[in-house]
Structure 1
Amino acid sequence: MVTTNLPTPDFTFDPSQLGACTAGVRPYRNGSYRLDAETISQKFIVHNYGHGGAGITLSFGCAAKVRDIVKDHLVSSPGTTEVAVLGTGVMGLTAATLLLDLGLKVTIYADRAPLQTTSAKAGGQWAVSVVEYAGKEGELAEILKTAHREFKNRIGQGYGVLERPNYTATPSENLDVVIKLVPGLIPARQSLSRLPFEHHTKRGFVYRTLLVEPPILLARLKADLDNHGVAFVSKSFASRSDVLTYVPQSIIVNCTGLGSMTLWSDPKMTPIKGQLAMLPPQPALQYLYGQNGYMFPRSDHVVIGGTFEAGVNNERPNKAVCRSLVDHIASLFGRAAVKPLSDIHIHNPFHAPIVNPRVPDV
């Protein structure tokens, strides 16, 4: 039985401060993510996108699949020595990292620096969040095993990977999916007679997972690639033909995320906006927390999020939304008046297909 409360966060928050509110757009793909290859105009194109809110989680696992696809292609094209990667989010950086294993010269093309991408705005919990995988359960299980191993191996190595408990008021579908697909990869959830926090009296659960701090991870991956001589080319592409004309490499790995909606004319792509409130760092908080929203204490910020705005494709944060995020979590600790949650605090817990609803542009 839990008898000792864990430290209570300081919810002091000023949404007008620079960097206190941020927003990103998840690259959700209806049905399943895309991880396959095609040949267009004598270019071998590997697609690796549509991972919703699980890009950080799946990154190294998908990168390993990309490496294997390219390796098999090289058997029929033994003279190929170069490969292009499109995108500097976590999918692009990890794909480039593992492609170096094949002895190829890697060039990355993107219109954003790594710390300007959606990946850099992720909360960072290692879990299967807002990604579809219909008919790909076996493949996803392998991706999860590889990704988890790669992240575990980087704990304490400067990649921003930490082991953390996650306390939840209800079962977490995002973590239960991992337990179901790959039994034993992470410990099964444990039931608690009450969550170990001030003002909490009801039953709950604790999971054991990883926290990956995106700013640290992306900066380190970029530094590693720089050290290996990988070239970064600043380039914005308007269309598929633009890519085929401009990129000289015969192998192209497409990790453009939501950009594939227009760049590769993929009608299955749907933007899902998420907003985050960024509190000052609080090193005493060594846990993750979730209750119709989440709180992930990192070394740079205590990140509070949980908004889900399907069909909204902009990265403009809304101060009122960020304020409501903080007030909601604070109220659960008895540190703010309880306020009803608005409709944007909605997740997709059962991995049902998401359509483009009419959502206020906030």
Structure 2
Amino acid sequence: MQRRQLLLAGGALCALPGHALDFAPPRAPAAMRASVDRIIDIAVGIRPFRAQGPRIEAQRLHGRTVVHHYGHGGSGWSLSWGSAQRALALVQAGGAKPGERIAVIGCGAIGLTTARTAQQAGYRVRLYAKDRPPQVTSSAATGLWTPDSRIVTREHAGEAWSAGWEAMARASFKVHQSYLGLPSGPVEWHDGYLLADDFDTPLPSHAGEPDYPDLASRIADLRPRGVALAAGEHPFRTPQVRRFTQLVFNIPAYQRLLLDDFARDGGELVQRVFHRASDFAHLPERTVVNCSGDGARRLLADTTLTPVRGQTARLIPQPEVDYALIWRSHNLVVLPRRDGLLVAAMGGDDFGNDDPRPDRAQSEAAVQRLAGLF
């Protein structure tokens, strides 16, 4: 059951019948037009997983104060703001004063939110990156709020670590709420349906996948409880269905908004490739925040990082489809993003896999399974 945190997160959202204050009358959701000829994009992202959890620590390196901030697994967008606040505290502890210019390496979810957090604290920020959105790997994320997705192994999740994670998750959640209601819809709440042939049947684990802790209960108050639905309350061809409510990130709009805000507040974005950590010595800034994600495996020769492959496909947008789907029994997640219906199908060899090449057959098979629900 530990291998698919995204699927299991959906289960954690749903309590037993009678536990929800759900006053809205049930309505039939619009059918998804799931066919392979509606696929408009397939993207692959590599999640940077660390068994110990994200690396948020400072060191003197090549004449610079380097704050490492990477290794968030599948929780980058979800945990980014609270994590950035911890990285900022290390910048401040290292002696950098507001008004001073600092460097941030990487333009993904962690780099962008770290840069914005530093700007809001009064720092001038120059962001160095090989790529910028939508070419960064964070652009391939699903966009579901899952701050506990592949974030740490059970053996490293003691009480002190878990309490720190909870603080970061709550801080991130609070910032995400400030992005609700904006015209571009960078962050939105959506209802969703968790489907299963049998919720009591455990999911088989994948070879090599570690044992993850149950962290969702620590932040259960941040999300509405779910409700089990009777057969006549949903249109799906599956015996067991639960309805939940969850945050969804419209990632292209979110990235564009962060970049615009960064530039508006005087941020500089420089395209640059770093081949090794010694390249930091050539930067004019005395303080460097390293948000290189999976790139730290090569940049720092960090053997604590494990790549985890993830593939998503987008179907032509359907504005009338405003609900998410998590089909637990078939490894399928569908999100109603503004840039299209996002279909994520998890493979059995994702863990430890850094192959960036799209597998169209995998996505086509997922869309065909989705079509069978309607």
Do they superpose with TM above 0.5? yes
Match of 1:138 in 2: 163
| CA offsets 1:226-283 (integer angstroms, 9 cap, x no match) | 111111111111111122x222211111110000111112111111111112110001
The two structures have a TM-score, normalised by structure 2, of: 0.81
Match of 2:67 in 1: 46
CA distance in 1, matches of 2:143, 2:334: 10
3-state secondary structure, aligned to 2:221: coil
Q: Residue 194 of structure 2 contacts residue 325 of structure 2 at CA under 8 Å; is this kept in 1?
A: yes
Percent of paired sites with the same residue: 27
Match of 2:366 in 1: 325
Q: 1:71 to 1:12 in 2, by over 3 A?
A: same
| CA offsets 1:310-362 (integer angstroms, 9 cap, x no match) | 222232111111101111222233xxxxxxxxxxxxxxxxxxxxxxxxxxxxx
3-state secondary structure, aligned to 1:182: helix
Match of 2:11 in 1: none
Match of 2:28 in 1: 5
- Alignment RMSD (CA, Å): 2.4
Deviation at 1:302, TM superposition (A): 0.3
Q: Which among 13, 25, 28 is matched to residue 49 of structure 2?
A: 28
Match of 1:218 in 2: 255
Q: Verify: 1:64 aligned to 2:85, yes or no.
A: yes
Q: 1:306 to 1:96 in 2, by over 3 A?
A: same
Match of 1:349 in 2: none
Task: Map residues 1-362 of structure 1 onto 2, 5 A cutoff.
Answer: 4-14=27-37, 19-74=40-95, 78=97, 81-127=100-146, 128-132=148-152, 134-135=157-158, 136-157=161-182, 158=184, 160-169=186-195, 179-194=216-231, 196-243=233-280, 245-291=281-327, 292-308=331-347, 309-333=350-374
3-state secondary structure, aligned to 1:332: coil
Q: 1:6 to 1:189 in 2, by over 3 A?
A: same
CA distance in 1, matches of 2:233, 2:125: 48
3-state secondary structure, aligned to 1:321: helix
Highest RCO, 1 vs 2 (Cα 8 Å, sep ≥ 6):
2
Q: 1:30 to 1:93 in 2, by over 3 A?
A: same
Q: 1:10 to 1:147 in 2, by over 3 A?
A: same
Equivalent position amino acid for 1:142 in 2: A
CA distance in 2, matches of 1:110, 1:220: 18
Deviation at 1:55, TM superposition (A): 0.8
Q: Residue 261 of structure 1 contacts residue 267 of structure 1 at CA under 8 Å; is this kept in 2?
A: yes
3-state secondary structure, aligned to 2:171: helix
| CA offsets 1:62-93 (integer angstroms, 9 cap, x no match) | 1121222222333xx55981210000001000
3-state secondary structure, aligned to 1:45: strand
Structure 1, unpaired ranges of 5+: 334-362
Moved more, 294-303 or 23-32: 23-32
Paired positions, count: 326
Q: 1:25 to 1:5 in 2, by over 3 A?
A: same
CA distance in 2, matches of 1:79, 1:148: 26
Equivalent position amino acid for 1:217 in 2: Y
Q: 1:78 to 1:282 in 2, by over 3 A?
A: closer
Structure 2, unpaired ranges of 5+: 1-16, 18-24, 204-212
CA distance in 2, matches of 1:195, 1:221: 43
Deviation at 1:58, TM superposition (A): 0.7
Deviation at 1:49, TM superposition (A): 0.9
Q: 1:252 to 1:331 in 2, by over 3 A?
A: same
Equivalent position amino acid for 1:212 in 2: F
| CA offsets 1:150-195 (integer angstroms, 9 cap, x no match) | 111110124511011221125799xx95641224111233333349
Deviation at 1:196, TM superposition (A): 4.6
3-state secondary structure, aligned to 1:107: strand
Equivalent position amino acid for 1:152 in 2: Q
The two structures have a TM-score, normalised by structure 1, of: 0.83
3-state secondary structure, aligned to 1:28: strand
Q: 1:80 to 1:250 in 2, by over 3 A?
A: farther
Deviation at 1:198, TM superposition (A): 2.3
Equivalent position amino acid for 2:371 in 1: A
Q: Residue 8 of structure 1 contacts residue 197 of structure 1 at CA under 8 Å; is this kept in 2?
A: no
CA distance in 2, matches of 1:68, 1:215: 29
Match of 1:354 in 2: none
3-state secondary structure, aligned to 1:14: helix
Q: 1:240 to 1:310 in 2, by over 3 A?
A: same
